[in-house]
């Protein structure tokens, strides 16, 4: 059972946007990666299930591509308290579509999560909530970079980048809903690859919490075998 610092009422007043409108070009699968099977279930189905475990009562908004209507219906069959909306050509547009769909609801906090990260854990959600509870407007999971970083042009190294203070960031990213909405409304269309970048652009302060190595994003073909193995391991734990 997930532990939480927030009251049931407060947790119900949160929403989750799951962005699933991408084409998954780098994965190169026949159907977009979020509809590929991992351990017998669609990737998107696993992601929704994992978040549902973390917060049983919140409203979920799943942002899908209009071409994938039938696949999405299959992936979300039986899921409760979910609405689907159509996304855009970039992730930024897709998140904005999700935020717009929540205007009437106007939750206090919104969590934005990639459909392609099925290993999001309840522990991570609780860690994020703990920073929200302390008053943060924005919290994102981050992992300190351990590899040495180089810049290269035309296959040739031009310099080495000091990795001190550099992080690889993940989703879910949590925000004060109305502040993220207004950040999206003012940000230019730059194809920001995460919402923290949009929030930052609007001058917001973002906190980091400990990310989770297991919470990787299925991106390249080799990630499917990795996800399959990790999912089988997770299932055998239960």
Binding site for ligand CTP (CB under 6 A): 19-27, 34, 63, 87-91, 94, 114-116, 217, 219
Q: How many CB atoms lie within 10 A of CB 1?
A: 6
Question: Which value, to the nearest 10 degrees, does the dihedral of the CA atoms of residues 119, 59, 175, 42 take?
Answer: 30
Shortest gap between Cβ of 216 and ligand CTP (angstroms)?
11
Q: Output 3 or 25, the one with its CB closest to ligand CTP.
A: 25
Contact assessment for residue 227 and residue 47, using Cβ atoms and an 8 Å cutoff:
no
Q: Output 19 or 140, the one with its CB closest to ligand CTP.
A: 19
Shortest gap between Cβ of 149 and ligand CTP (angstroms)?
21
Residue corresponding to tokens 């977009």: 32
Q: Output 57 or 191, the one with its CB closest to ligand CTP.
A: 191
Contact assessment for residue 197 and residue 140, using Cβ atoms and an 8 Å cutoff:
no
Q: Output 6 or 96, the one with its CB closest to ligand CTP.
A: 96
DSSP 8-class letter at 35: G
Shortest gap between Cβ of 6 and ligand CTP (angstroms)?
26
Q: How many CB atoms lie within 10 A of CB 122?
A: 16
Residue 61 tokens read as: 């908004």
DSSP 8-class letter at 66: G
Of 195, 202, 214, give the one whose Cα is nearest residue 17.
Answer: 195
Q: Output 94 or 176, the one with its CB closest to ligand CTP.
A: 94
The residues pairing with 63 across neighbouring beta strands, listed in sequence order, are 19, 85
Shortest gap between Cβ of 88 and ligand CTP (angstroms)?
6
Residue 26 tokens read as: 């780098």
Shortest gap between Cβ of 67 and ligand CTP (angstroms)?
12
Q: Output 137 or 194, the one with its CB closest to ligand CTP.
A: 194
Residue 162 tokens read as: 């000091």
Shortest gap between Cβ of 180 and ligand CTP (angstroms)?
16
Closest residue to ligand CTP in the complex (CB): 22
């Amino acid at each position: 059972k997930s532990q939480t610092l927030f009251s049931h009422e407060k947790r119900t007043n949160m929403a989750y946007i799951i962005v699933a409108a991408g084409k998954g070009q780098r994965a190169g699968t026949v159907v977009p990666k979020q509809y590929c099977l991992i351990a017998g279930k669609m990737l998107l189905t696993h992601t929704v299930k994992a978040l549902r475990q973390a917060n049983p009562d919140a409203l979920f908004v799943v942002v899908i591509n209009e071409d994938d209507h039938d696949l999405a219906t299959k992936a979300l069959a039986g899921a409760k308290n979910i609405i689907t909306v159509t996304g855009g050509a970039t992730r930024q547009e897709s998140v904005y579509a999700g935020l717009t769909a929540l205007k009437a609801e106007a939750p206090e906090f919104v969590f934005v999560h990639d459909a392609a990260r099925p290993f999001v854990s309840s522990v991570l959600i609780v860690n994020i909530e703990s920073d929200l509870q302390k008053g943060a407007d924005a919290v994102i999971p981050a992992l300190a970079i351990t590899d040495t970083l180089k810049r290269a042009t035309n296959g040739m190294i031009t310099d080495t980048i000091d990795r001190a203070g550099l992080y690889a960031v993940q989703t879910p990213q949590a925000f004060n809903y109305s502040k993220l909405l207004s950040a999206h409304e003012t940000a230019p269309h730059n194809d920001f690859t995460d919402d923290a970048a949009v929030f930052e652009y609007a001058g917001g302060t973002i906190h980091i919490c400990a990310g989770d190595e297991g919470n990787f994003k299925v991106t390249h073909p080799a990630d499917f075998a990795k996800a399959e193995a990790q999912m089988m391991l997770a299932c055998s734990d239960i």
